[in-house]
Amino acid sequence: MLKIWGRNDGSNVVKVMWCVGELGIPFERIDWGGPFGGNDEPEYRRKNPNGRLPTLEEDDGFTLWESGAVIRYLCAKHSLGNFYPEDLADRAAADKWMDWSSLNFASFNAVYLDQYFRLAEADRSAAAMEAGVKGALPWLDILDSHLADNDYLGGDRLTMADFPAGSLLHRWMHWTPNLPSHPNVAAYYNRIATRPAYQEHVVAPNAPRTQQIKEAGN
């Protein structure tokens, strides 16, 4: 059976697990990294020399790291012509949003993780948080404008394009102080958030941290 190594609340694991859930394939996810440790174990490093999460492992011993590559591989294997568009231009357009998410959109997530969870209270900075939100706004504007004419990032249906940015969007919607208005992004979020696989693999694993943020009054 397909194995995914990685704790369920790491953003790069979450995006892969939403994809796995949508594909409806059997899987085993192994709690790894973070509080579970194991990243430096030699056997794990042989599968993933970076000592990061997630790592995919197939029954025949094939292993793969880099969450975007994992999503592309799984969609090509199990959803050719659907989540993994067959048409070259459509596929490139979907690919584009995946890279855009990791290289641009995800920047706010690093700031939020530092400011909400990693830094000691004395080291947190309202200015850094504000800069994180401000820095993300141009990306949200781009997303909002694309979603004015498209129900999903890859066009009129869910594709691999949605898994990276769509999964991170949950944190943007729930962890951003004084959430700025992006009506098309909000409508897109409501569209994807009702999907059972999104609820299971994105909303539920994020819930403890979301609760922690709420209780802290942010």
Ligand X SMILES: N[C@@H](CCC(=O)N[C@@H](CS)C(=O)NCC(=O)O)C(=O)O
The residues that touch ligand X, with contacts defined as CB under 6 A, are 10-13, 33-34, 39, 52-53, 66-67
Q: Cβ of residue 56: shortest distance to ligand X, in angstroms?
A: 10
H/E run at residue 147: helix 126-147
Q: Cβ of residue 12: shortest distance to ligand X, in angstroms?
A: 4
Among 98, 125, 100, 122, smallest CA distance to 112 is for: 125
Q: Cβ of residue 46: shortest distance to ligand X, in angstroms?
A: 16
**Long-range interactions of 79-82: CB distance < 8 A, separation 24+:** 79/23, 82/157, 82/159
Give the span between the Cα atoms of 185 and 93, in whole angstroms. 18
H/E run at residue 131: helix 126-147
Q: In the complex with ligand X, which residue's Cβ is closer, 6 or 21?
A: 6
Q: In the complex with ligand X, which residue's Cβ is closer, 19 or 53?
A: 53
Q: Cβ of residue 183: shortest distance to ligand X, in angstroms?
A: 29
Q: In the complex with ligand X, which residue's Cβ is closer, 72 or 182?
A: 72
Q: Cβ of residue 44: shortest distance to ligand X, in angstroms?
A: 11
Give the span between the Cα atoms of 94 and 138, in whole angstroms. 20
Q: Cβ of residue 35: shortest distance to ligand X, in angstroms?
A: 9
Q: In the complex with ligand X, which residue's Cβ is closer, 64 or 186?
A: 64
Q: In the complex with ligand X, which residue's Cβ is closer, 70 or 158?
A: 70
Q: Cβ of residue 31: shortest distance to ligand X, in angstroms?
A: 11
User: DSSP secondary-structure letter at 80?
Assistant: B
Strand order in the sheet with 27-30: 27-30, 2-5, 55-57, 63-65
Q: In the complex with ligand X, which residue's Cβ is closer, 4 or 129?
A: 4
Give the span between the Cα atoms of 97 and 91, in whole angstroms. 10
Q: In the complex with ligand X, which residue's Cβ is closer, 92 or 110?
A: 110
Token pair of 184 as six digits: 């098309």
Token pair of 133 as six digits: 């939100």
Q: Helices (H), strands (E): how many in the chain?
A: 10, 4
